[in-house]
Every structure is written in C-alpha cells, then in structure tokens.
C-alpha cells in the first residue's frame, strides 16, 4: 500500500505507528474484497440515500450524464474531483464499476472533491469491513488520514459495518 511508505525524515509517525495504520495488512495489499449478495435493488437504496443527502445538503442539485453505467457518469460528465490524488477520472470510474458489481454501489452525489455512494450490500462483519477499508484507503487515503480518528483501517472499518452509504473526500490541496 503506497500510503504506508513515506520519507522517514518527514514522517510524524514512528515505524510502529505507521504499520498500525494499516493493520492487519501492514504494507501487504490484501486484494479486492469479495462481493456480496444485494439485500435489495441498488437503485432503491440510492433513492433513499438521495433523499437523505439532499435533506442534509439542500444546496445539492440534480445532474444528468449520458453513460451506459452509473459508474461511468463521472467521467462522462467531466468530473475532476480528486485532482490532488489523480487526474484520471477513468481510474475512479474503474473502481466504481468494481464496487457497482460487488456491492451494488450507485453514485448519488458529487462535489468539487467529494463523492457519495449508496451501497446495496455493505460489509456485515468487521473482517469484511477491514477488507473493504483497505480498498477505501487505496482509493481515497484522506478518508483515513484526515476523516478518521484514530487514523487506522480498523477504526475506519468499524464504521463501515452495515453502512449503506460510503462518502469520500479528497483534500483540495495541490501536489
């Protein structure tokens, strides 16, 4: 996992703390988490989450994009959200396609550096959630480094168990 490897001179964490961030995996990539059976049609979860999301964020507006799959809508619309992380929205779409197939993920909202997904088949155990958390860390390290405390996969994974929405936020700083 590239986000466990940093310059030792500028790292605020000790080697033990650094490995603890991605425990139980350390610097070993565990591979993709297995898919799950959908509890219901993914679009039904998406509709419910959209109602919740717009109630929480009344300034959000509806957007439409011509795309064969929901996961491709971001690239089709020209979304450039995680610029400090990747300039290739196709990479983001590829991950979303995989989550669409394995977890019933549906894009429900985007912002300048935010992404909101509804999830029809979330992890139901901590072990499943740890595996998913490793994917989230590779996809959006800021979810762990800046939106989680303590900054560990295990702490983040605890929040994923049974959660029917995943939110991602990339820091807007430039690299």
Within a domain: 17 = yes
> Domain tally for the chain?
1
58-102 confidence digits (pLDDT tens)? 888 878 888 888 889 998 888 887 877 887 888 899 999 999 999
Q: Are 39 and 121 in contact (CB under 8 A)?
A: yes
Within a domain: 62 = yes
Task: Return the structure tokens found at 93.
Answer: 């779409």
Residue 59: partners with Cβ closer than 8 Å, 6 or more residues away = none
Within a domain: 175 = no
User: Which domain does 99 fall in, by range?
Assistant: 2-169
**The pLDDT of residue 11:** 57
Work out the average pLDDT over 127-151: 85
- Give bridge partners of residue 165 from the DSSP assignment: 118
End-to-end CA distance of the chain: 19
Q: Which long-range contacts (CB under 8 A, 24 or more apart) does 63-71 make?
A: 63/110, 69/97, 69/100, 70/96, 70/100, 70/106, 70/107, 71/96, 71/97, 71/99, 71/100, 71/105, 71/107
In this structure, what DSSP letter does residue 17 have?
Answer: H
Within a domain: 83 = yes
Within a domain: 77 = yes
The residue ranges of DSSP E strands in the chain, in sequence order, are 106-110, 114-118, 165-169
Look at 15-19, 24-28, 79-83, 131-135 and tell me which has the smallest mean pLDDT: 15-19
Computed over every residue of the chain, the mean pLDDT equals 83
Q: b/e string for 149-162 if b means 16 or more Cβ within 10 A?
A: eeebbbebbeebbe
């Amino acid at each position: 996992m590239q986000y466990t490897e940093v310059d030792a001179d500028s790292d605020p964490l000790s080697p033990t703390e650094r490995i603890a961030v991605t425990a139980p995996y350390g610097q070993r990539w565990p591979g993709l988490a297995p898919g799950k059976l959908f509890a219901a049609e993914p679009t039904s979860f998406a509709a419910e989450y959209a109602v919740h999301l717009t109630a929480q964020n009344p300034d959000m507006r509806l957007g439409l994009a011509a795309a064969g799959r929901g996961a491709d809508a971001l690239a089709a619309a020209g979304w450039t959200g995680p610029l400090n992380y990747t300039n290739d929205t196709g990479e983001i779409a590829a991950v979303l396609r995989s989550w669409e197939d394995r977890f019933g993920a549906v894009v429900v909202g985007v912002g300048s550096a935010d992404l909101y997904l509804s999830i029809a088949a979330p992890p139901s155990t901590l072990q499943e959630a740890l595996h998913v958390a490793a994917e989230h860390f590779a996809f959006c390290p800021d979810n762990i480094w800046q939106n989680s405390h303590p900054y560990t996969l295990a702490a983040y994974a605890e929040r994923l168990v049974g959660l029917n929405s995943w939110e991602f936020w990339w820091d807007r700083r430039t690299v």
